[in-house]
Structure 1
Amino acid sequence: MTKPKVLISDKMDPNAARIFQENGCDVDVKTGMTPDELKAVIGQYDGLAIRSSTKVTADILDAAPNLKVIGRAGIGVDNVDIPAASARGVVVMNTPFGNSITTAEHAIAMIFALARQIPEADASTQAGKWEKNRFMGVEVTGKTLGLIGAGNIGAIVASRALGLRMKVVAYDPFLTPDRAVELGVEKVDLETLLQRADFITLHTPLTDETRNILSRERLEKTKKGVRIVNCARGGLIDEAALKDLLDSGHIAGAALDVFVEEPAKASPLFGTPGFICTPHLGASTTEAQVNVALQVAEQMADYLTTGGVTNALNMPSLSAEEAPRLKPYMALAQQLGSLVGQLAHGDLPSVSVETEGAAAQLNQKPIVGAVLAGLMQRFSQSVNMVNAPFLARERGIEVREIRNEREGTYSTLVRVTVATSQGDRSVAGTLFGHGGPRLVEIFGIGIEAELEAHMLYIVNEDAPGFIGRIGSLLGEAGINIGTFHLGRRTAGGEAVLLLSVDQPITPDLVAKAQGLQGVKVVTPLSF
């Protein structure tokens, strides 16, 4: 039997190659390749182990017909086109907890560097000056630290800051009151954090919701004299606005380990008084590099040799023994979780996962985990079946399992119900004979549909002419309809339209659809 072949394309601990070899994989180490060089060789490999330097684009993936898994030694996967990898059946893994302590400690170091102007004082002293009166610092004791993001790294920063006798306030939509008490922090909204914090540090992934979370408008609302640290991801802060407010003196100092464009060799922030920076060193300690390299090698080797999946970002984790039976159910469960997550807005205090018939006879944990992974995908790129239950508990989401071994209308069924401020919202699906997931009910209305990459969900009044109006609207916009599914509660009552299209629906087109006669709800969906 041919051994799986793995390419390590970024510098990482040499023990990673040894782990691959000991677990039955052939491995090549080729670092520093250009995109064209990587594209020329990637077709030979089953696995690709990377850090932050290698960019795995759709173009690279097109040249990798044999690639089965990409392993990121670290947390962030901004350098991997996950949708393109998913479309090609390539599993993307990371090591979400291997460098948490290292990154948190770097943030704390940045806080001290800002508070005592250490880089400037060092440069001045080594230049032969003795400017003792120039570098008047501030104590961190008694100051208020504002955490934006209270997940794994943020929680470690909070612990260290509390040990320094700082007060800690935290903004995180998923932070529950109980978890805040456990961490010893005060949960606040973002506006309150901006007004109260003497230091602000960011610990959140870069998503559509968090991009420019510290915009010019929000930076202007910060407390005068605030000091800001970002060791998370470039793009969370408006860098141009940050420079302007440093120049004006409103912001006393800023320390960035990450930039919008990396490597950052010509940033306008360079040379700005009160600004210090490091070249993305958050995970750069000997201990962290060893940890993440060994973890990613073990995970990838396990997948390539046994089919086990751990810390995957685009598919649920499962053991090699369970994979054949559970995979189609987990695909269905993840789609249902994603669907209800996109349609049910606001807080979700509870989620119920109910199985009937054949589905009820299986191990429920992977199915529930897949539902949670789908449900919470809109909030974090790092959610997977392994950490989704923990994240749900951390955010106070009650998870219930209901098992009905009797058969109902379908021989096997998975139902996902979430509690919302408008009442319970439920979706259900089954597996057809070929094992393909199929939606059979949405919010109490029977409707059979395959969930595809780009879809449009519409709730409207059941009246003549509507199908023609929506078809004309999409046709005029050059949007091709793939499938068209209808359901209704009663004749003349509320109706549901679920259609697949060949490209994403733009916000402008959503607004036009919302304006059609009889339309109540229009929501674009993606899977």
Structure 2
Amino acid sequence: MKILINDGIHPTGKRLLEEAGFEVSTNKIAQDDLPAKLNEYDAICVRSATKVRKDLIDQSPNLKAICRGGVGLDNIDVDYARSKGIHVINTPAASSRSVAELVFAHLFSIARFLQQANREMPVKGNSEFKDLKKNYSAGVELTGRTLGIIGFGRIGQETASIALGVGMNVIAVDPYLDSAEVSFGPTSHQFKVKIETSSMDEMLKQADAITLHVPFLGEPVLGTKEFDQMKEGVFIANASRGGTIDEDALLAALESGKVAAAALDVFVGEPKPRVELLSHPNISLTPHIGASTGEAQEKIGIELAEKLIAALKD
């Protein structure tokens, strides 16, 4: 069987597929050229760059599996593919820790004004050092504060694990889950805590910081109504999907002070986020790198390969 890896895979994943007897191609085929070439393959593995929609599926009757190296499947017509008997595979477990650690990198940054200081120190550090020190000396500690987590799946639970280790309180919101047991601490000294989920309204009223770990389902999860319910000076972090936060409402909440600072790894209109977000002094920014660590990429490659081998050998 032939497998097209169109958006890259860690060498370990490629090796596992080849050892299982598959012919693996990592030569990227442009989106416009896929209709003419994809039927030469039994499976395609993508990330977010390549889209596998109904028309492409219809033009590839030989296709037996579509794999997404990552969590979200919004670039694949999942239900239609499955209705055609095609396996649809993703890797929800592999990148959870990397995303959770990025969230906390951002939260620590906005709690201590690092994103602003890092912009101004190269320009003003030699001439206005004392002024900058005064401006950025009003940071806060995360310990003892409350983190609201919207979406309590694997990534949300990993985020809770770090929060507990930092000494934060956790309020989780998830309509599909009543509770989850979260482990934290090193392997040699593991602690376990059962966290019961709460309502969105209760979380919004109590959280000092809020992070989202949900798919985009066509409507924002946080908009003007939700921002109005939040505590004054709340932190917001989003490393899930662009569109889960109403960006206009976020900018208004930043302007009013309702939101003290935000941390964004994802944006509406990627790869061209709106300039108002990119230039805002109270937003910590990264270019959608939540799962982009060496460890996560290897785990993604392994999980993808193992699931694909099982599906095609079935």
TM-score (norm 2): 0.89
Which AA in structure 2 matches 1:189?
A: S
Whole-Å Cα distance in 1 between the matches of residues 268 and 259 of structure 2? 20
> What displacement does 1:99 show?
1.0
Is 1:73 paired with 2:75? Answer: no
Q: Which residue of 1 aligns with 2:188?
A: none
Given that 2:65 and 2:89 are in contact with CA atoms closer than 8 Å, whether structure 1 keeps it comes out as yes
- C-alpha distance in 2 between matches for 1:178 and 1:201: 17
- The question of 1:199 aligning with 2:209 is answered yes
Q: Does 1:25 align with 2:22?
A: yes
Equivalent residue, structure 1, for 2:143:
141
1:108 corresponds, among 100, 104, 107, to 104
**Residue 178 of structure 1, CA deviation:** 7.2
Written as runs of structure 1 = structure 2, the 5 A alignment for 1:189-228 is 189-207=199-217, 211-228=219-236
Using the size of structure 1 for normalisation, the TM-score is 0.54
The equivalent residue for 2:3 is 6
Kindly indicate whether the alpha-carbon contact (under 8 Å) linking 2:115 and 2:283 is maintained by their aligned counterparts in 1: no
One-letter amino acid matched to 1:244: A
Give, in whole Å, the separation in 2 of the partners of 1:36 and 1:98. 30
Provide the C-alpha distance between the structure 1 equivalents of 2:287 and 2:179, rounded to a whole number of angstroms. Answer: 36
Task: Give 1:154 deviation, angstroms.
Answer: 1.3
Structure 2: state its 5+ residue gaps: 184-191
- Cα distance, 1:12 vs. partner? 2.1
One-letter amino acid of the counterpart of residue 153, structure 2: G
Q: 1:128, CA displacement in angstroms?
A: 4.0
Q: Paired residue for 1:241?
A: 249
What do you get for the CA RMSD once the two structures are aligned?
2.0
159, 163, 166: which one aligns with 1:164 = 166
CA distance in 1, matches of 2:24, 2:194: 46
SS for the counterpart of 2:245 is coil
Q: Secondary structure at the match of 1:65?
A: coil
- Asked if 1:84 is matched to 2:80, the reply is yes
1:82 maps to amino acid: V
Question: Take 1:243 and 1:51, find their aligned partners in 2: how far apart are those partners?
Answer: 30
Question: Comparing both chains, which one has the higher relative contact order based on Cα–Cα distances under 8 Å and sequence gaps of 6 or more?
Answer: 2
CA spacing shift, 1:184–1:121, aligned 2, 3 Å? farther
Which structure has more strand as a fraction of its residues?
1
Question: More helix by proportion, 1 or 2?
Answer: 2
Task: Give the match for residue 132 of structure 1.
Answer: 133
Question: Is 1:52–2:48 an aligned residue pair?
Answer: yes
Contact 2:227 2:258 in 1 (8 A): no
**Residues in 2 aligned to 1:175 and 1:19: alpha-carbon distance in whole angstroms:** 34
State the distance in 2 between where 1:90 and 1:134 align: 57
- Shift, 1:25, TM fit: 0.9
Compared with structure 1, are the counterparts of its residues 78 and 178 closer, same or farther at alpha carbon in structure 2 (3 Å cutoff)? Answer: closer
Query: Secondary structure of 1:264's partner?
Result: coil
Instruction: Give the distance between the partners of 1:68 and 1:184, measured in 2 at CA.
Output: 40
* Structure whose CA Rg is larger: 1
- Give the C-alpha shift of residue 212 in structure 1: 1.1
Aligned counterparts of 2:115 and 2:294: Cα–Cα separation in 1:
23
Letter of the 1:175 counterpart: L
Paired residue type of 2:119: A
Distance 1:180 1:17, change over 3 A: closer
Gaps spanning 5+ residues in structure 1: where?
308-527
Matching residue of 1:188: 198
Question: Which residue number corresponds to residue 12 of structure 2?
Answer: 15
2:306, 2:197 → 1: CA distance? 37
One-letter amino acid matched to 1:29: T
Task: Please give the per-residue CA displacement for 1:195-233, whole angstroms capped at 9, x wherever unaligned.
Answer: 11110011223336xx31112111122111001001112
Amino acid at match of 1:55: K
Distance of 1:199 and 1:124 partners within structure 2: 25
